[in-house]
Structure 1
Amino acid sequence: MSRFQSIDRQTGYLLPPSLDEWLPQDHLARFIVEVVDRLDVSALEKAYGGRGSAAYHPCMLLSLLVYGYATGVFSSRKIERATYDSVAFRFIAAGAHPDHDTLANFRRRFLGELAGLFVQVLELAQEMKLLKLGTISLDGTKIKANASRHSALSLGRIEQLEIQLRAEVDSLLQMAEQADQSALPDGMSLPEEIARRQDRLQAMEAAKAKIQERAKKRLDKEQAEYQAKLAQREQKAKETGKKPRGKLPKAPSAEPRAQDQINLTDEQSRIMPVAGGGFEQAYNAQAGVDTASMLIVAPSVTQACNDKEQVQPMLERIAALAPALGQAKQLLADTGYYSAKNVQACQAKNIDPFIAVKRDEHHPTPLARFSEPAALPEDATPAQVMAHKLKTKAGRALYALRKQTVEPVFGIIKSVLGFRQFSLRGLEQVAGEWTLVCLAWNLKRLAVLRLA
């Protein structure tokens, strides 16, 4: 008698198998299907013209994408393959097998509608008593663009390449004019070589035009900063009665700089410094996270390397959630977001800011850890009042929540889910994909919270 159980892969089922019996009741795929089926997807349904053969339902395609992103499967080809060899994906697709073109087109076509669905999921979380806006933790992370940084060219490099290519075109034209071309290497076609270089010259001319356009847009911002610095110097001179020290601020120029770059693959991405050193072609993905539930309530993507200008846009997004989810009370952010203007912007929205003014010491003395700061003067500015609050025991405890909420969320998205590079190109498409990532994270998180 054999000591092992028999293996029989040939005997058929007495009754047709049920997909519902193959998946555990508390499986993430079931939860995602239940939630997506409750969403109002009428805007997606109306986009279908009703011509031709019957289309896959938007709820099924959306569930496949969300479950894919929640489990680290981002490629439409891999999702298609999973509908054959994964029980969870087969359950979501109900035995159907949408091809990768259908999935990719659906994702690209309806990225704009994801923002409304994202808010619906937050409203559902509030109905489940799992979300109540109170303290929001804000941070950003650099995510690689779907483009190599080696495809980026600076204005100076473009000008050098233009000289080189024009010289090569002139040389090839001289060779073409010669009656005897027997010295040409085998397989070399002069018309093709000339056309290839002329095409590159046209592409570089277009790239130069875009760099110049960016420089003109940058001038408006730099001009405002320049005028603010002049006004500050004049104010200081009036207060002290003395001429301010130091050089006058340099007036901005509309001319592009030699180091201004553009990427030929994804021109809207930017070269950005990344953690650990070095630079990557990337986007700056921002997220406002509710500290109590670790749900992302406000995702966004920017081309700016610096986070300082991202407070105001995030406040607008949080304010837009107030009618449905309530008013946020506090905003936590690291020193990269600090400016007196951002402190005032938070107060204007009735949000109490806790934005680090400078980096804290890693190993403060016991006396510093348990002591309270000295009292503030009566004429303290809003920024000084906030800095004083951050030094109190209550302020330090509240600010410590930032490292326990938004940073772990980014860590899980990047290291556990494996989302480190966008699949799409262009700021609008990338922003939509980041919303899809955050939607998948929220549903994955809700699936855990509902069982707690």
Structure 2
Amino acid sequence: MSRKVVWKTNDQDQLSLLPPSYDDLVPKNHPVRIVNSILDGIDLEILERTYKGGGTSSYHPKVLLKILVYAYLRNLYSSRKIEEALGENLHFMWLAGTARPDHNTISNFRSGRLKGHFKKIFNQVVVLLAEQGHLSLKDIYLDGTKIEANANRYTFVWAKGIKTSRERIQKQLKELWGYVEKVYQDEEQTPNMPDFGAIDPKKVSETIDQINQALEDRPIDKKVRQKLNYAKKNWPKNLERYDRQEGQMGGRNSMSRTDPDATFMRMKEDHMQNGQLKPGYNLQAGTNNQFIVNYSLAQTTSDTTALIGHVEGFIEGYGRAPEKLTADAGYGSEENYAHLESKGIEAFVKYGHFHKERLDEKRGTSKSPFAADKLYYDSQGDRYFCPMGQAMEHVDSYQRETKTGYLQTIDRYRARNCSGCPMRGACHQGKGNRTVERNHNLARLRDTARERLLGEEGIAHRKRRCWDVEAVFGNIKQNMGFKRFLLRGIDKVETEIGLIAMAHNLKKATLTA
């Protein structure tokens, strides 16, 4: 015998004696409440000062900031989708207090009001999370990852290409002047040769005018006339563009025309995993307990040159330096070691051949005893001794400047007499007595780094770095789906990645609450 099915009531026209409150419909431990309570505890005077007052009323910056942060926490990055959520999503309605800013207001706040100010707000939230015991500002784990810019992948400009174009213009100018000399070869008086050294718009334009004047009222080859007309019309204009683009690159090797602040970098976030060149930014993140405590954006592909700026940003934001910093071999340069030492930061930073040294030790292999860093050094006498026991006296010193402008001091040592030495063939193949060059400061810094890294604490920091900072990048790119910026320009992009960092932190705080 079948039983009668009973359906639950569903009356859309049913009236309530008391209208429901949004607060009753939001669970007590919901992430939106965490976002609301934490952002209520920060000072936004820096944003309030950007409003001039007068005219129509404005949405309070705290309301707009809550909306943006919670939207990023929910993987909503489009201002239009955020506007849509404010009219459809109960949690957004509760958080905004039924405020309904449109997508233009949200977009202008994100790319305008927050620009240049968000980092200070982010630091306040990090300090608040540290006070609640979620993280520590003493130990920092640093790494970098590349994120694609909102730029056309095929609008690249290369510094090397600009240099080649300048050289080509210079070469063609000389060829045109060679034609002038050929025209005047049977005459006693020839025009004065122009200066081909300065390839700038004004000088090139004057040189073309000088060539045209020299060939005036003379029979000219049709192709030469066409080339002169093309040069007069295009070369000065092209050189002005080259000057402007070189100024935008500021020493970088490339840029995108649709986002001049973006640099072309090799990225593997594509289905072929073959490392395509795409315009992007190098995100540097300092983490603790998988919380982002500091972030910065570099326009270089290498992590090495990004460490100092990142550390200085940390000090500026929190008024003090971290006690310890752990990073991989991409940051192990003399300049970085020296900077961390000057700031009193205990550095657990690998250098380039750290792992190779460890592997050689396990295999029982090592460098040749004739290698420069294997020679015995007498610090009191400032001299080296070769494997045969011959002293290698200090000859001179010189300074070498790196690409970043850092000056390295190099000392040179030379043996007195290598002739007739039975080990000469194994020792060195050059003519004359052997000379070695040593950077004592770098050797000292690497010895200190090696000692720290191989200690018990160093091993623990090296193991933790992998799951502390790299897990953060995995969450941002995979779980949050943030693999490409929406905004353009490094100032706006820095605000956008700051929102991602804050959303990541608050989402993690809700999980550990």
Q: TM-score, normalised by structure 1?
A: 0.72
> Structure 1 residue 378: deviation in Å?
11
Return the index of the structure with the highest Cα Rg: 2
Specify the alignment match of 1:112 in structure 2.
116
Q: Kindly indicate which of the two structures has a greater share of residues assigned to strand.
A: 2
Mapping of 1:141-156 within 5 angstroms? Answer: 141-154=145-158, 156=161
1:210 is matched with which residue?
Answer: 244
CA-CA distance at 1:301 after TM superposition? 0.5
Structure 2 residue 461 is matched with structure 1 residue 398: yes
Which digits, 9 at most, give the CA deviation of each residue in 1:387-443, with x for residues without a partner?
Answer: 232233432221111111110011101111111111111111111221222122222
3-state DSSP of counterpart to 1:24: coil
What is the alpha-carbon distance in structure 1 between the residues aligned to residue 240 and residue 247 of structure 2? Answer: 11
Q: 1:207 to 1:423 in 2, by over 3 A?
A: farther
Aligned to 1:77: 80
User: Does 1:140 pair with 2:203?
Assistant: no
Task: Look up the equivalent residue of 2:305 and give its one-letter code.
Answer: E
Partner of 2:327: 333
Deviation of 1:357 after TM superposition, in Å, equals 1.8
Task: State whether structure 2 residue 266 is matched by structure 1 residue 273.
Answer: yes
For residue 285 of structure 1, report the CA deviation from its aligned partner: 0.9
Counterpart Cα distance in 2 of 1:10 and 1:201 = 75
Matching of residues 17-416 of structure 1 within 5 Å: 17-109=20-112, 110-154=114-158, 156=161, 207-213=241-247, 217-218=250-251, 261-275=254-268, 276=273, 277-290=275-288, 293-323=289-319, 327-358=321-352, 381-416=444-479
Q: Does 1:446 align with 2:509?
A: yes
Letter of the 2:263 counterpart: R
8 Å Cα contact 2:142/2:326 also seen in 1: yes
Please give the alpha-carbon distance, in whole angstroms, between the structure 1 residues aligned to 2:240 and 2:255: 11
Identify if the C-alpha distance between structure 1 residues 53 and 395 changes in structure 2 by more than 3 Å, giving closer, same or farther.
same
Tell me which amino acid in the other structure corresponds to 2:323. K
Deviation at 1:88, TM superposition (A): 1.4
Matches of 1:65 and 1:201, distance apart in 2? 48
CA offset at residue 210 of structure 1? 2.4
**Is the 1:268–1:426 Cα contact (8 Å) retained in structure 2?**
yes
| SS class of match (1:311) | helix
Which residue is 2:488 aligned to? 425
May I ask how many residue pairs the two structures share in their alignment? 361
The one-letter code of the counterpart of 2:136 is: K
Kindly state the Cα deviation for residue 4 of structure 1 after the two structures are TM-superposed. 3.6
Unpaired runs of at least 5, structure 1:
164-199, 220-259, 370-376
More helix by share: 1
Helix, strand or coil for the counterpart of 1:298?
Answer: strand
User: 1:18 Cα deviation (Å)?
Assistant: 0.7
Give distance in 1, aligned partners of 2:147 and 2:115.
Answer: 18
Preserved contact between residue 315 and residue 349 of structure 1 (Cα < 8 Å): no
Are the equivalent residues in 1 in contact too, given 2:311–2:321 (CA < 8 A)?
A: no
Given that residues 207 and 262 in structure 1 are in contact (C-alpha distance below 8 angstroms), is that contact kept between their aligned partners in structure 2?
no
Letter in 2 for 1:280: K
Identity %: 32
Q: CA RMSD in A?
A: 3.2
Deviation of the 1:55 alpha carbon: 1.3
